[in-house]
Amino acid sequence: MAVMSYGEAAKLAIAEAMRDDQRVWCVGEDLGRGGVFKQYAGLREEFGPDRISDAPISEAAIMGAAFGAAMVGTRPIVEMRFADFALCATDELINQIAKARFMFGGQSRAPMVIRKPMGMWRSSAAQHSQSLEAWYAHIPGLVVVCPSTPQDNYAMMKAAIACDDPVVYLEHKNIWALEGEVDTAAPGEFGKARLRRQGADVTIVSWSDCANLAESTGATLAERGINAEVIDLVSLWPWDKRAVIESVKKTGRLIVAHESVAVGGFGAEVVASVAQEVAMRVPPRRLGAPRSLVAYAPNLEDQLRVTEEMIARAAQEMMEAEAA
Amino acid sequence: MSLRNFDAGKGLERLVLMERIRAFEEAARHAAVEEELVLGAIHLSIGQEAVAVGLLESLAREDYITSTHRGHGHTLVKGADPAAMMKELLGREGGCCGGKGGSMHIADFGVGMLGANGVVAANITIAAGAAHGVKLLGGDQVVVCIFGDGAANRGPFLEGINWAGVFDLPILFVCEDNRYSATTRTADMTSGDVGARAGALGLNVTRVDGNDVEEMAAASGEIIARIRAGGKPEFMHARTYRLDGHTYFDPATYRPEGEAERMRAETCPIARQRDLLGAAGIAAERMDAIARAARDEMFAALEAAKAAPWPADDTVFEDVQDVGSPALEAF
C-alpha cells in the first residue's frame, strides 16, 4: 500500500480509469494548468488537451455540454471548481441530468462524475464554503458521495467513474493534503459505510471531513471512558442505513454530526430513519451548523463549526442522561 | 420561391411531411379538446411545419437533433413512429418514453432525436455537448439544435454557442422564430437582433424565410454539407409564425386583432407549397389526397394510442438510477 494525499488519490483513480477507457475525459475551468486545487496536475501531459479539457467560465455549459457528450457515448468527469459555483448549473444537473433517463423512458444514460469541492476553507466566506450535500441527496436520479479519506477518495472515484448513473462527487477542500494509506485493490462500494471506530456506548454518524473529526472525538471519548462507534457513511445516496441501524440497536444512542446547516440537513434523514426502526435509550442528537452564513472573519467562521468538543459533550450528556 | 429549378417531386415529398405534421397535431388537439385524452399541456407547431421539414431532410438517421417543448414536427421528421408519439402524448404504454415524459419530453434516441425539453434553452448546451462527444469519439454525425426565439434571452444561448465556437463543433443552431415567447411578443422583450448575437460569437449566420419550405431546404442543405465537411458551427435564424396559442388551450387573445387570420391567409407554409406545386402543374386532387392520407395515418395513430393501456404502476420506479434505485430503497 502506498501513502498518498486525498487529492493525489483521486487523481490516481482518474488517471487509471482514463488509461483503461478512452471514453473517459475531464472538463472544467483551468484544468490544463492542473485545476484550482492541483487535482489534475500532470494529467494533461499524459492525456492531452482534448481529454483534460479547459472550459470557458460557463458552468451551465460545462455541465450541459458534458451531459450531451455523455448521451452520445463519452464518460465525462465534470469539474465545478467550487460546489458553490455549481449552483450556476442547477438546471443542467437537476432538471436535465438527473431526470433524462427517466423522462425519456430509459433511452438515455448520464454516466458522469460531477466533482464539487465543498466545505469550509479558512476565510473563504459565504460563496466559497458551502456544504450542500443534502440538496443532492434529495434529488431522485443522483448518486451522492462525500469521501473523507485518501482510501475512499481513490476507491469511490474509481466506482463513480465506472457508474452509469450521474454521481455528485463532493470532496472536502480542507483535506486535499490529508495523507493516508491507499489500497488500490480494495474496491469502493456505494451505500457501504466505513466503520471508523468500534464501540458499544454511542453511535456517531458522519461523513466528509466531519467524519475525521468524529473519529478523533472517538479517541477523546475513550479517554473519558466512553466507547463510541464511529460510522463514516461515505455515500449519502445510497446510504448504509442497515449499518447505522445495527449499530444503534447495539448502543441505543445516536449522534449525527455534519458540517452543513443542521436544519433540513441529511442528519435529519438519518435520525428519522433510525427512529422509525429502533427504540433508543435516549433521544438522538443532531449536530450541524446553525442556520446562518459562513463568514470571512475567522472568529465568525468558527461560530458555525461543529467541533470535537461539541460532539464529545453530546455523547457525555447522553450517557449521563440515562444514568440520572 | 420561383419555379426555376423547382423539383416538383421533392416539393411533393416536402408537402407530404408538412401535411403529416399538421395532421399529427390536429389529431393531438382533437384528442385533447374533444376527447380529453391528452391530460397535460401540448404545444402545437401549426404554421411552423416548413422549418422542421426543410431543416431536417439533409440529416441522416445517425445525425442528432435536440428540440423544444414544441417538438412534435422535429421528432416526426427525424423518423419517429407517430403511433409511439401519440401514445406518449396520451401517457400510455408503448409511448416512446413509456408514458413518463409526455409531449414536452418526447424523444427517440433510435432515430437520433435526443429529446424535447421542458426548459427553454436548456437543449442548447446539451446539443453543443452532443457535438463535442461526436468530435471526441471521432464520429461524423452532425448535430442540429432547434430552439425558439424566447431561448435567445436565456444564458445557455450564450454559453452553448460560445462553447461550440471555442471547440469548433459540428453543429447547426437554429432559432425557430415564431415571434412569441409563450404569451408575450418576443420583439418587446428582446434587445437587438438574435442573429447578430450569434454573429458576435463568431458564427456564420443565415437568415431564412421559415415558412418557405423550399428556401429552408436549400439553405439547410448547404449549411449542413459545410458542417459535415469539417466546417465550423453555424447559426440559422428561421422566421416563421405560430398560428395557434402557446398551448392548445391558449386562445392567444394577446395578439393584435386580425394578425393570426392574416398570417394564416398569407403565409401558411402548406398553402404556399400547394400554390407552388399547383403552378408547376400538380393537380389539386393529388394534393388533397396527400392531406387525406396524412389525416388518416395520424387519426389511426390516435386510435392505436387510445387502445393502449396505461403503463404498469411499478414502472415509476424504473429507470431512475441503478445505484440507490428507488425500487430497492423506498420505504
Looking at this protein, which amino acid is placed at residue B101?
A: G
Q: Is residue B321 part of a domain?
A: no
- What CA–CA distance (Å, rounded) separates A256 from A207? 9
The C-alpha cell of A267 is what?
442528519
Q: Is residue B116 part of a domain?
A: yes
Domains in chain A: ranges and CATH: 2-182 (3.40.50.970), 194-323 (3.40.50.920)
pLDDT above 70: percentage of residues in chain B: 98
Q: Is residue B188 part of a domain?
A: yes
- Cα A105 from chain centroid (whole Å): 29
Pick the catalytic residue: A128, A138, A172, A258?
Answer: A128
Q: Is residue B244 part of a domain?
A: yes
| Catalytic residue list contains A258 | no
Tell me how close the Cα of B161 comes to any Cα of chain A, in angstroms. Answer: 9
Range of the domain at B161: 8-301
Structural domains in chain B (count): 1
User: Is A252 an 8 Å CB contact of chain B?
Assistant: no
- What CA–CA distance (Å, rounded) separates A94 from B67? 19
Partner-chain residue, chosen from A64, A74, A92, that has the shortest CB–CB distance to B136 = A74
Q: Predicted confidence band at B5 (pLDDT cuts at 50, 70, 90)? A: confident
Tell me how close the Cα of B133 comes to any Cα of chain A, in angstroms. Answer: 4
Q: Is residue B307 part of a domain?
A: no
- The confidence score (pLDDT) of residue B4 equals 75
Q: Is residue B325 part of a domain?
A: no
What is the rounded average pLDDT for all residues in chain B? 96
- What CA–CA distance (Å, rounded) separates B192 from B152? 11
Does pLDDT of B330 surpass 60?
A: no
CA A99 → CA A3, A141, B143, distances in Å?
A: 39, 6, 22
- The confidence score (pLDDT) of residue B328 equals 60
- The confidence score (pLDDT) of residue B1 equals 56
Phi/psi of residue B273, nearest 5 degrees: -70, -35
Question: What three-state secondary structure class fits A258?
Answer: strand
pLDDT digits (tens, 9 = 90+) for B170-189: 999 999 999 999 999 999 99
Task: Say whether B129 and A102 touch across the interface (CB within 8 A).
Answer: no
- The confidence score (pLDDT) of residue B331 equals 46
Sign of the CA dihedral with A79 first, then A84, A89, and A94 last: positive
**ipTM of this predicted complex?**
0.96
Bridge partners, A254 (sequence order): A203
Q: Is residue B3 part of a domain?
A: no
- The confidence score (pLDDT) of residue A324 equals 67
Name every chain A residue with its beta carbon within 8 A of the beta carbon of B318: 106
Partner-chain residue, chosen from B119, B158, B162, that has the shortest CB–CB distance to A95 = B119
The H-or-E segment that residue A272 falls in is helix A266-275
pLDDT digits (tens, 9 = 90+) for B89-123: 999 999 999 999 999 999 999 999 999 999 999 99
- What CA–CA distance (Å, rounded) separates A42 from B187? 50
Name every chain B residue with its beta carbon within 8 A of the beta carbon of A193: none
Q: Is residue B55 part of a domain?
A: yes
Chain A nearest-CA residue for B322: A165
- What CA–CA distance (Å, rounded) separates B99 from B84? 10
- Check residues B327 and A157 and name the one with the higher pLDDT: A157
- What CA–CA distance (Å, rounded) separates A195 from A145? 16
pLDDT digits (tens, 9 = 90+) for A184-241: 999 999 999 999 999 999 999 999 999 999 999 999 999 999 999 999 999 999 999 9
Sequence-distant (6+) residues with CB within 8 A of A300 are: none
pLDDT digits (tens, 9 = 90+) for A10-38: 999 999 999 999 999 999 999 999 999 99
pLDDT digits (tens, 9 = 90+) for A41-52: 999 999 999 999
Does pLDDT of B231 surpass 90?
A: no
Name every chain A residue with its beta carbon within 8 A of the beta carbon of B322: 163-165
Name every chain A residue with its beta carbon within 8 A of the beta carbon of B156: 60-61, 64
The predicted model gives A53-66 an average pLDDT of 98
Q: Predicted confidence band at A322 (pLDDT cuts at 50, 70, 90)? A: confident
Bridge partners, A245 (sequence order): none
- What CA–CA distance (Å, rounded) separates A122 from B97? 48
Does pLDDT of A287 surpass 90?
A: yes
User: Is A34 an 8 Å CB contact of chain B?
Assistant: no
For residue B218, what is the domain's CATH number?
3.40.50.970
With beta carbons less than 8 A apart as the criterion, state whether A261 and A210 touch: no
Sequence-distant (6+) residues with CB within 8 A of A222 are: A199, A228
Count how many pairs of residues, chain A against chain B, have C-beta atoms within 8 Å.
159
The predicted model gives B266-278 an average pLDDT of 97
